[in-house]
Amino acid sequence: AVERTLSIIKPDATRRNLTGRINAKFEEAGLRIIAQKRIQMTPAQAGTFYAVHKERPFYGELCDFMASAPVVVQVLEGESAIAKNREVMGATNPADAAAGTIRAEFAESVGENSVHGSDAPETAAVEIAYFFSGLELVG
């Protein structure tokens, strides 16, 4: 089925000017960027986004990192977009990521891993709605 997923190009990647190279990977995989904007979050805004991780030991560090520089939030659309995006990103820890994936090529560590992608249709819907209104999704 055609799906939509929420993607974030993280501060480690925007700092190194990698937005275009990461977007090229998405587009080469057949994902269409149907919404995109560059924002800078506060730690509290990042904390709400990552609320599911609030009991994890790295939560504070994660929120501070996500607020440390601009991010690019985007909605990717395509056939099986959620799984396809996760395939293009590679494993969370770049040490485990397959060759050619975004995290294998660009990520610096498990925390500073260049991209985020939704993990399921339900979370994709919630995550998209956190950053975008329906009018901003131009499929």
Q: Any known ligand binding at 10?
A: yes
Catalytic residue among 71, 116, 124, 127, which? 116
Strand 32-39 versus strand 115-117 pairing type: unpaired
Work out whether 111 is an interface residue with ligand CMP (CB under 6 A).
yes
Judged by CB under 6 A, which stretch of 17-25, 29-37, 96-104, 107-115 contacts ligand CMP?
A: 107-115
Count of chain residues binding ligand CMP (CB under 6 A): 9
Work out whether 92 is an interface residue with ligand CMP (CB under 6 A).
yes
Q: Which of 39, 44, 58, 120 binds ligand CMP (CB under 6 A)?
A: 58
Minimum CB distance to ligand CMP smaller for 30 or for 112: 112
Handedness of CA 134, 135, 137, 139 (dihedral sign): positive
Minimum CB distance to ligand CMP smaller for 96 or for 136: 96
Between the CA of residue 104 and those of 67, 87, 107, 113, 116, what are the distances in Å? Answer: 23, 11, 6, 9, 14
Distance CA 10, CA 103 (A): 11
Distance CA 20, CA 22 (A): 5
At closest approach, how far in Å is the CB of 58 from ligand CMP? 4
Work out whether 13 is an interface residue with ligand CMP (CB under 6 A).
no
Distance CA 77, CA 136 (A): 13
Please name every residue paired with 3 in a beta bridge, in sequence order, or none if there are none. Answer: 78
The residues of the shown chain that bind ligand CMP, judged by CB under 6 A, are 53, 58, 61-62, 92, 110-111, 113, 116
